[in-house]
Structure 1
Amino acid sequence: MKNLVILAGVAAFGLSGCVTPSGVANMDPNLKTQATLPPEVAATVAPGQDTSDIRIDARDGCLMYRHNGPVETTYIPLRNKKGRAICIKREA
């Protein structure tokens, strides 16, 4: 009986690796629109930000970039060299 309990615990632990991790796959629906940076905007981007995947936040029109952190991958605001968020005008 004890071996059966241990086997069930090992099986549950092993199957937990089959779960899809949350993150970019469950992306915020407000970040669906991809954008490309014009050269004059790209020149103002602060160093250390990955501009290969830029999204527009539908709530405020600010540009977001994909940050691959040690724990999770998330979208955070794209900042200029002065530390301000880079936003675009929203159409009415």
Structure 2
Amino acid sequence: MTTKLNHRDCANFAPIDVTKGICHLTKDIVLADTEQCADFARLPKCANCKEFACTPGTSHMGHCNASAHEPKFFAYPDMAAVTCDRYAAL
């Protein structure tokens, strides 16, 4: 399965609201769901981490296997992982 990456998946994108944001590189306002540009830098997200596991029967909720807590804490695939010290890219 191929995942389409948009501006909202870029580390250079700063959201203003749910539909648009500012590109840190160009300083332009861009729509969040439009196609990525040539300067795309993938934003670390739980869906792109080796430690993320989806809850059986769903694709929108899961847990982090790197969590030291029991039970493992909930995570969702689109959660930004920029501050996670246990993020491991796929």
TM-score, normalised relative to structure 1? 0.29
TM-score, normalised relative to structure 2? 0.29
Mark the structure with the bigger radius of gyration: 1
